[in-house]
Amino acid sequence: MLSLGNAFSREDVLEFVARIEQMLGHGGIEFSVEPKLDGLAISLRYEHGRLVYAATRGDGVTGEDVSHSVRTIKAVPLVLAPGSGWPEVLEVRGEVYMPRAGFHEFNRRARERGDKELVNPRNGAAGSLRQLDSKITAGRPLSFFAYGVGVGADGLAVATHGELMDRLASWGFPVTTERRVVQGVQGLHDYFTEIGEKRPGLPYDIDGVVYKVNRLDWQ
């Protein structure tokens, strides 16, 4: 699970799109775009439709086993929707996060009890997953969004990232409703502006937006 490349200006985005157009030999590239949640990246391994393992991204190669904690998150399906064509082995990648409302409610109750408050939603999510006692994790307001597939992607017979997200949703995974398909630099810029305006009202923290080439065979 590699880390994402960063773009901090319109010029960086122009260079990003230009590299892709040069590599593919044409313009008019469609991108799948979505908010970048400020949480903790997780890999979920399913075998025969059942969750068998969950790990953090770690250094991209070796992560931390957090299966006991992830199983307590209601948004993570323990068993995939039946009869929907999932592969024998499937690795779903996504983000565990703490919704803003849950974060504020948790801290309100902590203040009433005289307990330590969480610093921010991201630290709250990461610390909750790393609890040795899964009962503590179960008491934390955690949620999950899926954003991709690792092992098992080759056999899904989908052509675009958007179709992949629809397939994950059909198996019971929550996916963001803020995802879009846009074209070219202007489409990326317009989406960035849109999410920037929506950011204060989103029910979760974000730390940017993610741009992916929509055609899976071009990624």
What's residue 154's pLDDT? 81
CA gap 191, 180 in Å, rounded = 8
Pairing of strands 30-37, 180-183: antiparallel
pTM value is: 0.90
Is residue 76 within 8 A of residue 145, CB to CB? The reply is no
What's residue 219's pLDDT? 63
What's residue 83's pLDDT? 66
Catalytic residues: 36
CA gap 28, 94 in Å, rounded = 28
What's residue 7's pLDDT? 80
Q: What is each CA distance from 18 to 8, 38, 218, in whole angstroms? A: 16, 28, 14
CA gap 9, 50 in Å, rounded = 42
Each residue's pLDDT, cut to its tens digit, for the chain (219 residues) gives 777 778 888 888 899 899 888 888 888 899 999 999 999 999 999 999 999 999 998 888 888 899 999 999 999 999 998 766 889 999 999 999 999 999 999 999 999 999 999 999 999 999 898 888 888 898 899 999 999 999 888 878 889 999 999 999 999 999 999 999 999 999 999 999 999 999 999 999 999 999 999 988 766
